[in-house]
Structure 1
Amino acid sequence: MKLLYFAWVKEKAGIAEEDVTLPAAISDVAGVIGWLKSRGENYALAFADLALIRCAVDQEHGDLATPVAGASEIAFFPPVTGG
């Protein structure tokens, strides 16, 4: 699965994208984030405030409860506003 990080999430994580194999027990976006936070301080900082994290699973906006089974891509980014 490809994970993509944008804006300050990318800066804090220290990486723009990566290909990972998720543990079998992970079923939703919240599980992915929990697993990422366990991988290092940079991820823990990037995902410290989940109220500021948005995601898209296979290019469709989701939330923490969005299932990830069968997904090929998850993108993480801060809230975006137009103007």
Structure 2
Amino acid sequence: MAIELLYFAWVREAIGRDGETVEPPDAVKSVVDLIDWLESRGGGYAEAFADRSLLRVAVDQEFAALDAGLEGVREVAIFPPVTGG
């Protein structure tokens, strides 16, 4: 299953790209599994995903929890918490 990943803010800066298309292994069933798999790539991925409490996600353009499933998902956006004023 191909998933389009989008990275924003310091997540994008740590990884060094604003997005990519990945084909995670079959064992990747949730967003947190996806993040674990990405983090195992090392380098900027390990840096970006080291503290999960600083991450928010959107799955197919809807805010979601890190334990959200990936069945049928086309896009996952990963970003830090956003504040506005």
Q: TM-score range by the shorter chain?
A: over 0.9
Runs of 4+ in 1 over 2 A off after TM superposition: none
3-state SS of the aligned residue for 2:33?
A: helix
TM-score, normalised with respect to structure 2: 0.94
State the alpha-carbon separation in 1 of the partners of residues 51 and 65 from structure 2.
14
State the alpha-carbon separation in 2 of the partners of residues 22 and 60 from structure 1.
21
1:40 deviates by: 1.9
| Unaligned ranges ≥5, structure 2 | none
| Unaligned ranges ≥5, structure 1 | none
Q: Are 1:38 and 2:40 an aligned pair?
A: yes
Which residue does 2:56 correspond to in 1? 54
1:82 deviates by: 1.1
3-state SS of the aligned residue for 1:75?
A: strand
Corresponding residue to 1:67 among 69, 73, 78 = 69
Q: How many residues align?
A: 83
TM-score, normalised with respect to structure 1: 0.97
RMSD: 0.6
1:45 deviates by: 0.1
